[in-house]
Amino acid sequence: MKNLFKMTLVLVAAALTLTGCDCFKKMAKNRSELTITCTPDVLVLNNGKIAADITAEIPAKYFNKKAALKVTPAIVYAGGVAKGNTLLLQGEKIADNGMLVKSKEALSIKRHVEFAYTPAMLNSQLVLIVEVKCKSGKCKEFSLINANTGEIIGAETKLTPAEYGLVIAKGVNAIQADLDFSEAMQTAANNYKRVTTVVTKADIVYKINSSRVAKKAVETEELKSLKAGVEANKANDRVAQSLYVNGYASPDGPEKFNDKLSEKRSKSGLEAVEKLLADAGLNIDAAAYGEDWEGFKAAVAASNIADKDLILQVLNMYSSSAEREKEIKNMSFVFKSLKTDVLPQLRRAQVVNSADVTGWSDEEMINIIKEGKVSTLKLEELLHIASVCEEVAEVALVEASKSGDARAWNNLALVYAKAGNYAKAVECLNKADKSVASELNNNYALVYAAEGDMAKADSYAANASAEAKALIAAAKGDYAAAAQTLRSGYNAAIVNFQNGNLSAAKKCIASDNSAKADYLRAVIACKEGDVKTAKAQLNSAISKDASLKAKAANDINLAALK
């Protein structure tokens, strides 16, 4: 708290004697009796606003009965002035609608003022602009005066409100604006796998109870396609393939007989495949699996048999293969489709090509994007590389969003949020659908809080993450509540700084070597009076992010370094 009027008493009295308004001369001469205080004396940003409580203590026998004063609080900053509500004070012989100040009585006046914050206000002053009116003399109409000297301000003056207003607070602690809401935003997961397995199958079909490979059995389109795939894979050094020939028998004969039959089919099938793929130079494994019950159930389920559900239900009642075999034979007489459509396709040697395909490395994908070939990457590749490389994230996700995938829009919103473009982030979230509902709800809450729209933020907060709720609390100035959840990291450091817990704030960013963390350490060091450390941390921050130099020049929290 300061008695701000006492500082320039001699100068003011001398100036007023020559140039001031008549009814104001004595008031200025006795100015030391007047006390004006502002809490806080360094303004604080909270929830998009800066606020202050101004108190004026007017002693008895001070205010001139024939004087009237208009006092207007104003935030003065580079390129602008934001004015608050004007207070009219009037003496007992002034007929107006202002606050009456009786000459023989002391008066305490308290006013709360608020201003919408803009970043330009970081380096600003809260001033009182004073206008005076007297019943007679030079100031019969309200005249603007220099509150620091008492001189009447003429129309041609070159003085600014910062110069003729009475300064009662300097600068804005805008640390709250440094909260990083994007840190709590949620990324929609991708399904990227660098190594994917592609399985291709083709059947060599046998006649009933036979293991001889007919000529037509190896001339099918399935086998031709499999052969072409094997040859293509062989020419691709990113593909490792393994081939198998698996022999089966249909489950409508004796179990022991079918076991031997499937083994013979695996061998004859292997010979046929080795001949078919002789030029590939691959090792091919063979195995026998006896009766193909799983294949039978799958074939029945995929068939058009009217009572297929009943067939499967009956067969599932038996655990013995002999019993199931008997039931199949019984049903074959009733359901001819089993004999003609289902069982024949199970008498086979199945050729399986299991190919492990190794995709692009992260470095390769980054280079592909930098070369302007982003459209050659697949959706999951784009989502993945965006999650691991910020440098190409925007380009990758813009391309991914062309698919209409909600994950791409959600994750692109994060990219814009990290860049501070929350309006663009909202546009992206609006294009996502409910397939990422949880992430959307959380991220809407955070982007609206970052934009200062607390009503919208609160409408999503109930179902948001605990971290998001804590950040919304911090954005409202409830740092004590936020500290209960935010225990580490950059945002936790800001919360603890605002709570006055500097030790905890430093611990929260002890392992963070980013430019913003260095800058915050400089602010903390200034608060602790450690100017040497503050300078070192600020220099480190600026070396990593040159834009912080301009910010530091206007930051009241770093005033000790100027």
CA-based torsion, 56, 59, 60, 64: positive or negative: negative
Instruction: Note the pLDDT of residue 7.
Output: 39
Q: What does the chain come to in residues?
A: 562
Bridge-based pairing state of the strands 43-46 and 172-173: parallel
**Six-digit token string for 336:** 């001819």
Is residue 543 situated within a structural domain? no
CATH number of the domain bearing residue 54:
2.60.40
Q: Are residues 299 and 204 both part of a single domain?
A: yes
The pTM (predicted TM-score) of the whole model is: 0.79
Q: Are residues 331 and 388 both part of a single domain?
A: no
Quick one: average pLDDT of 227-236? 94
Is residue 433 situated within a structural domain? yes
Domain of 105 in residue numbering reads as 4-173
Is residue 442 situated within a structural domain? yes
Do residues 188 and 411 make contact, with C-beta atoms less than 8 angstroms apart?
A: yes
Q: Are residues 26 and 167 both part of a single domain?
A: yes
Q: Rounded CA gap, 79 and 72, in Å?
A: 19
Is residue 405 situated within a structural domain? yes
Q: Is the confidence at residue 11, as pLDDT, over 60?
A: no
Q: Which tens digits make up the pLDDT trace of 337-389? A: 888 889 999 999 999 999 999 999 999 999 999 999 999 999 999 999 999 99
Final residue in a domain of this structure, among 435, 462, 489: 462
Quick one: average pLDDT of 412-419? 97
Q: Are residues 363 and 418 both part of a single domain?
A: yes
- Give me the helices (H) in 167-254, please: 221-234
Q: Are residues 343 and 445 both part of a single domain?
A: no
Domain tally, the chain:
3
Is residue 231 situated within a structural domain? yes
Instruction: Note the pLDDT of residue 18.
Output: 43
Average pLDDT, rounded, for the chain: 92
Helices 422-430 and 437-451 pack at an angle, to 10 degrees, of 150
Final residue in a domain of this structure, among 438, 462, 486: 462
Q: Are residues 95 and 113 both part of a single domain?
A: yes
Q: Are residues 299 and 401 both part of a single domain?
A: no
Q: Which helix (H) or strand (E) holds 489?
A: none
Could you tell me the pLDDT band of residue 333, with boundaries at 50, 70 and 90?
A: low
Q: For residue 489, is it left (φ>0), alpha (ψ between -120 and 50) or beta?
A: left
Is residue 559 situated within a structural domain? no
CATH number of the domain bearing residue 414:
1.25.40
Q: Which tens digits make up the pLDDT trace of 60-115? A: 999 999 999 999 999 999 989 999 999 999 999 998 899 999 999 999 999 999 99
Helices 406-418 and 437-451 pack at an angle, to 10 degrees, of 20
Q: Are residues 214 and 204 both part of a single domain?
A: yes
Tokens 């396609």: give the residue. Answer: 225
Above pLDDT 70, what percent of the chain?
96
Q: Are residues 86 and 45 both part of a single domain?
A: yes
Is residue 480 situated within a structural domain? no
Q: Which helix (H) or strand (E) holds 346?
A: none
Q: Rounded CA gap, 264 and 247, in Å?
A: 7
Q: Are residues 232 and 339 both part of a single domain?
A: yes
Q: Rounded CA gap, 52 and 69, in Å?
A: 21
Q: Is the confidence at residue 10, as pLDDT, over 60?
A: no
CATH number of the domain bearing residue 319:
3.30.1330.60
8 residue type, one letter: T
Q: Are residues 247 and 365 both part of a single domain?
A: no
> Which 3 state secondary structure label does DSSP give 357?
strand
Q: Is the confidence at residue 2, as pLDDT, over 70?
A: no
Q: Are residues 221 and 349 both part of a single domain?
A: yes
